[in-house]
Structure 1
Amino acid sequence: MFLAWNEIKRNKLKFSLIIGVLIMISYLLFLLSGLASGLMNMNREGIDKWQADAIVLNKDANQTVEQSLFNTDDIENTYKNQTTLKQSGVIVSNGNNEENALLFGVTDHSFLVPDMIEGKKFNSDNEVIADETLKDKGFKIGDKLSLSQSDENLKIVGFSESAKYNASPVLFSNNNTIQKINPSLDKSTTNAVVVKDKNWNNQSLNNNLEAIGIESFVENLPGYTAQNLTLNFMISFLFIISATVIGIFLYVITLQKTNLFGVLKAQGFTNGYLAKVVLSQTFIIAMIGTLIGLILTLITGAFLPSAVPIKFSAVTLIIYGVVLIVVSLIGSLFSILTIRKVDPLKAIG
């Protein structure tokens, strides 16, 4: 380790270039991991807050809540803890701001409504609770909301914790309110039934219905899987690029030092010792580059606007940092193989 660090200090410019490349790769890698987590959270945030086990939909709805419609009598008292979910897409405006949102019609004391952070719960028709993402977009308690597709007006009486569903902010109302806006959702019909029952898969249902595990339901949300696969492919390629770049840099440096390695071998230094030197150098520069990239990422995250869907996970950042260092060490194996082939007599001349 001493020899490795000493050489790095003596060749600051050469090794700084490698560290600089690693900083840029790790910076982009950590930002992409935060973006991936943020996009996942935008799609499933509200669903995770349900803490449900399954959801029941019409079989012909292609696992989409708004396209599903069935009679509540078909599933009444089937599960230990169940609640209806009625959903309608709306465009709401308070006169100053306009936003695409989802209106959820829920029963009293439904577990679908997240914890309140401000105001009160709805007590009468046309009163709604908005999730806090709408508060961040200029909406406030007492706002009268007009709807583009209905003559009904809604009133915000409280804000809940952020509960985005498929990247859309959510408004919660009683069933009478959503029925006024979407008459097809009368008292006897619903879009879905959300279930809290560990044994949900053991219950038999009407032939027109299907029960879907929450994780499976989330994975089939429009765009959810495609987004995750795209970002994960990009992250995987960054790991490959990192190993390749480190490998090329160290290989070139090794070729430049062929005579030096020949002299060291002639003096009795073994291939194993020289391999440890190369691995130590790689570990040091990978550690420095990764740490600086992580610090820059956290600084950037602190200044990004709330509109950017980014969310950092300490566990994910640590795992990616460790993997980045490991793949850098793997990239250095080309140099180690080259060192093993150095003939002391030929190198010395």
Structure 2
Amino acid sequence: MRSNLPLFLGFKEIWRNKARFALVIGVVTLITVLVLFIAALSEGLGAGNREYIATLDAELLVYQEAADLTIGASQMPANLTRSLRRVEGVAAVGPVGFSTGSVVRVGEPLDVALIGVQPGQPGVPPVREGVTFSRPNAREAIIDANVAEQAGFKLGDLITVRSVQGEDENSYQVRVVGIAPSRKYGIQPSIMLPADTWERVRAKPAIADVQGAPAFNVAAVRLSDPQQREAVAARIAGRVKDVVAVDLKTAYENTPGYTAQQSTLSTQSGFTLLIGLLVIGGFFQIQAIQKIAQIGMLKAIGASNRTVAAAFIFQVVIITTIGVLVGALAAFGLSLALPSVVPVQFEPAQVLTAVLLLLAIGPIGGAVAVRSLLKVEPLTALGLTS
């Protein structure tokens, strides 16, 4: 019975003051929802920026050296792929071009990333339905799962792609031959087109370049030995003029705004945890001050500091655990109710880390209040000193 005394005391106080403790559980729940949603938003926005690049069937991405790893600024001639293929350790090279456009659907047009790839080379995503491209100039398209869901397209559909070329908005029709898993780029769903078709469809400036527009932005390089990334990247830089090769992680981290976006959301999440720590710690500190007389009475009838501390920590753990669990379920439920266009994506490892941190803020915040309870003198607390 004595070993269960802290649990009994802690639970009894929670039961007698249900409204007060329910309020704190509600605060912990809201903090949990906020932290998990920020984490999910960070993952969703990050995936929207890096998804296509991170899932390339290649180990290196080659940029124009002067572009400073900015895809939009990188401009490469079509014959560069031959030079890259001659580098030792390179198994295959696929030119990849990026542009923007929209597709006609019921209601408003859907903005998309238009990605030009060479059939049979790195850059072409695997299809979960249908087939891949038949030839570079085919009027075909592989749409990612987001386009299929948001626009309602299916295999065999003839879709209209619009892009701005000069001062005019032009329309092109292509047939959906494949549906790929999600391959977002620039927070937009993607439509992959064969290289020659993409060159006709892509957005073009008002004044055409007299020397001809660049054939592609970057080159996806698949290696004979994926473990030799650094060595092959150095060979490419040394043997091919005016280019730089980097791994995929470096490539997507240099996507405009990616690092700043992730840093901002991580900072927000950190401050939310800090606010949670202060709120919970402040609540238990006030609670400790309010029950000094009761603690004094317990100590006067023989309760040890260990019993008092254990009862208090039990309360902290129970309240925090309930609040975090309810908050996690609420966050997951709300995510299911959100439309698919909202970039919220729960990553199991990230969610687990956030939940563990949230479970820790209760005991950490309550640890300060425990010290106040341990210093209580029975006679002083009961006002019996002269």
Query: 1:278 & 1:15 partners in 2: Cα distance?
Result: 13
From 212, 217, 221, give the equivalent of 1:195. 221
Residue 136 of structure 1 aligns to a residue whose secondary structure is: helix
Query: 2:201 & 2:73 partners in 1: Cα distance?
Result: 16
Aligned 8 A contact 1:130 1:156 in 2: no
Distance apart, 1:39 and its partner CA: 1.0
From 22, 41, 50, give the equivalent of 1:44. 50
CA RMSD of aligned residues (A): 2.1
Identity %: 28
In 2 relative to 1, CA 54–289 (structure 1 residues): closer, same or farther, beyond 3 Å?
A: same
From 2, 11, 14, give the equivalent of 1:8. 14
1:156 aligns with 2:175: yes
1:131 aligns with 2:153: no
Aligned length: 346
The residue aligned with 2:189 is 169
In 2 relative to 1, CA 277–108 (structure 1 residues): closer, same or farther, beyond 3 Å?
A: same
Query: 1:77 & 1:154 partners in 2: Cα distance?
Result: 37
Distance apart, 1:99 and its partner CA: 3.2
In the alignment, residue 133 of structure 2 is paired with which amino acid?
A: F
The residue aligned with 1:81 is 91
Aligned 8 A contact 1:86 1:185 in 2: no
From 305, 308, 317, give the equivalent of 1:274. 308
Query: 1:95 & 1:303 partners in 2: Cα distance?
Result: 23
Aligned 8 A contact 2:103 2:111 in 1: no
In the alignment, residue 192 of structure 1 is paired with which amino acid?
A: V
In 2 relative to 1, CA 73–117 (structure 1 residues): closer, same or farther, beyond 3 Å?
A: closer
| Residue deviations 1:45-73 (CA, integer Å, cap 9, x gap) | 12222153221111111212232123334
Query: 2:302 & 2:134 partners in 1: Cα distance?
Result: 86
In the alignment, residue 27 of structure 1 is paired with which amino acid?
A: V
Query: 2:349 & 2:81 partners in 1: Cα distance?
Result: 42
Distance apart, 1:31 and its partner CA: 1.6
Query: 1:302 & 1:50 partners in 2: Cα distance?
Result: 29
Aligned 8 A contact 1:262 1:344 in 2: yes
In 2 relative to 1, CA 282–7 (structure 1 residues): closer, same or farther, beyond 3 Å?
A: same
Distance apart, 1:181 and its partner CA: 4.2
Residue 91 of structure 1 aligns to a residue whose secondary structure is: strand
Distance apart, 1:9 and its partner CA: 0.8
In 2 relative to 1, CA 168–339 (structure 1 residues): closer, same or farther, beyond 3 Å?
A: same
Query: 1:138 & 1:170 partners in 2: Cα distance?
Result: 12
Query: 1:198 & 1:154 partners in 2: Cα distance?
Result: 42
1:232 aligns with 2:266: yes
Moved more, 43-52 or 219-228: 43-52
Unaligned runs of 5+ in 1: none
Residue 137 of structure 1 aligns to a residue whose secondary structure is: helix
In the alignment, residue 11 of structure 1 is paired with which amino acid?
A: N
Query: 1:86 & 1:31 partners in 2: Cα distance?
Result: 34
Moved more, 243-252 or 265-274: 265-274
Query: 1:299 & 1:93 partners in 2: Cα distance?
Result: 31
In the alignment, residue 140 of structure 2 is paired with which amino acid?
A: E
In 2 relative to 1, CA 66–344 (structure 1 residues): closer, same or farther, beyond 3 Å?
A: same
In 2 relative to 1, CA 275–207 (structure 1 residues): closer, same or farther, beyond 3 Å?
A: farther
In the alignment, residue 83 of structure 2 is paired with which amino acid?
A: D
Aligned 8 A contact 1:178 1:185 in 2: no
Moved more, 35-44 or 286-295: 35-44
Query: 2:342 & 2:335 partners in 1: Cα distance?
Result: 9
Aligned 8 A contact 2:74 2:218 in 1: yes
Q: Normalization by structure 1: what TM-score?
A: 0.92
1:68 aligns with 2:68: no
Unaligned runs of 5+ in 2: 1-6, 203-211
Moved more, 100-109 or 246-255: 100-109
From 312, 325, 335, give the equivalent of 2:369. 335
The residue aligned with 1:295 is 329
